[in-house]
């Protein structure tokens, strides 16, 4: 689900409490902005249990499926992430873990090769679709710029600047929501590509819509909320 991020350091909850409920379930559609890619459907579950938070995203097209599972502390401290991808042409499995000072990427196809990434001095650390969790701890009324260092399961890294640019009413198949418009500007010289996320203004600030690439070489997608299965009213 569009650019990916999860903390290795723990931010303070902007609301002064644990804003994540025991179990949350959402369903999305992702429409590619060019005709070369298929419509994608995904489900997202966020569950808190025994001091751990588990983020599970499952996506599918007619010819492929992907499952990403991320484990963190209840305030977002990153522990590990696993990605399973399957299609008729290939199967891939990668794992990323963090010990606070370093992040480690290992591919199932090569158990003997582990890539290491130094994290010291980086305020926030990100892995795949967990920007959705990071944004829940953002101090929306103060509107600071948060620098986020990210690692993709492919091994690519990027730094982005995350900020709140205001409020908007956003209409999606699940309804019309009052949202914060969160912009993630990627630090690439000259181009400065931007990914836009609209998250619900009311806690738990779930994703309502997003527009942008999922990585430096991927298509752009428009992702929209199809169903909020938690009783949140638009």
Sequence ranges of the domains in the chain: 23-228
Q: What is the mean pLDDT of the chain?
A: 84
The whole-number pLDDT of residue 217 equals 56
Q: What share of the chain has pLDDT > 90, as a percent? A: 45
What the block records as the tokens of 123 is: 């305020």
Residues whose CB falls within 8 Å of the CB of residue 112, separated by 6 or more in sequence, listed in order = none
For residues 227, 183, 189 and 155, what is the CA-based torsion angle, rounded to 10 degrees? -40
What are the residues facing 185 on neighbouring strands?
Answer: 161, 194
pLDDT over 60 at 18, yes or no: no
Using CA atoms, how far apart are residues 178 and 212, in angstroms rounded to an integer?
20
The mean per-residue pLDDT over the stretch 103-129 comes to: 83
pTM score of the predicted model: 0.86
Whether 211 and 196 have beta carbons less than 8 Å apart is answered as: yes
| Residue, of 232 and 177, whose pLDDT is higher | 177
What are the residues facing 187 on neighbouring strands?
Answer: none
Q: How many Å separate Cα 67 from the centre of its chain?
A: 13
pLDDT over 50 at 16, yes or no: no
Give the Å distances, CA to CA, from 192 to 46, 47, 141, 186, 188: 31, 34, 25, 5, 5
Closest CA to 42 of 55, 56, 58, 26: 58
Domain 23-228, what fold?
Answer: YmcC-like fold (2.40.360)
Q: What share of the chain has pLDDT > 70, as a percent? A: 86
- Cβ atoms within 10 A of the Cβ of 114, count? 12
Q: How confident is the model at residue 10 (pLDDT cuts 50, 70, 90)?
A: low
Q: How confident is the model at residue 35 (pLDDT cuts 50, 70, 90)?
A: low
Intra-chain end-to-end CA distance of the chain, in Å: 21
- DSSP string spanning 29-70? EEEESSTTS--EEEEEEEEEETTEEEEEEEEE-SSEEEEEEE
pLDDT over 70 at 37, yes or no: no
pLDDT over 70 at 147, yes or no: yes
Beta strands in 61-206 (DSSP E): 64-73, 78-87, 91-98, 102-107, 110-118, 124-127, 146-151, 157-172, 175-186, 194-200
pLDDT over 70 at 199, yes or no: yes
Using CA atoms, how far apart are residues 226 and 215, in angstroms rounded to an integer?
23
pLDDT over 60 at 19, yes or no: no
Give the Å distances, CA to CA, from 58 to 23, 31, 44, 55, 86: 16, 16, 7, 10, 12
């Amino acid at each position: 689900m569009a650019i990916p991020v999860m903390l290795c350091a723990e931010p303070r909850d902007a609301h002064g409490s644990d804003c994540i409920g025991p179990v949350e379930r959402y369903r999305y559609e992702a429409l590619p902005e060019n005709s070369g890619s298929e419509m994608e459907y995904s489900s997202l579950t966020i569950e808190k249990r025994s001091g751990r938070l588990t983020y599970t995203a499952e996506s599918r097209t007619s010819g492929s499926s992907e499952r990403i599972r991320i484990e963190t502390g209840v305030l977002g401290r990153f522990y590990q992430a696993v990605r399973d991808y399957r299609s008729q042409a290939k199967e891939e499995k990668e794992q990323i873990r963090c010990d606070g000072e370093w992040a480690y990427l290992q591919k199932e196809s090569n158990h003997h090769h582990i890539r290491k990434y130094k994290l010291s001095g980086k305020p926030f650390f990100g892995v795949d679709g967990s920007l959705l969790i990071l944004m829940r701890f953002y101090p929306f009324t103060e509107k600071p710029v948060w620098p986020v260092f990210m690692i993709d399961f492919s091994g690519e890294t990027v730094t982005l600047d995350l900020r709140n640019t205001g409020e908007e009413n956003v209409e999606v198949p699940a309804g019309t929501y009052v949202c914060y418009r969160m912009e993630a500007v990627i630090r690439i010289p000259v181009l400065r590509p931007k990914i836009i996320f609209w998250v619900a203004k009311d806690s738990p600030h779930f994703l309502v819509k997003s527009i942008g690439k999922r990585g430096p070489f991927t298509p752009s997608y428009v992702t929209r909320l199809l169903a909020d299965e938690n009783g949140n009213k638009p």
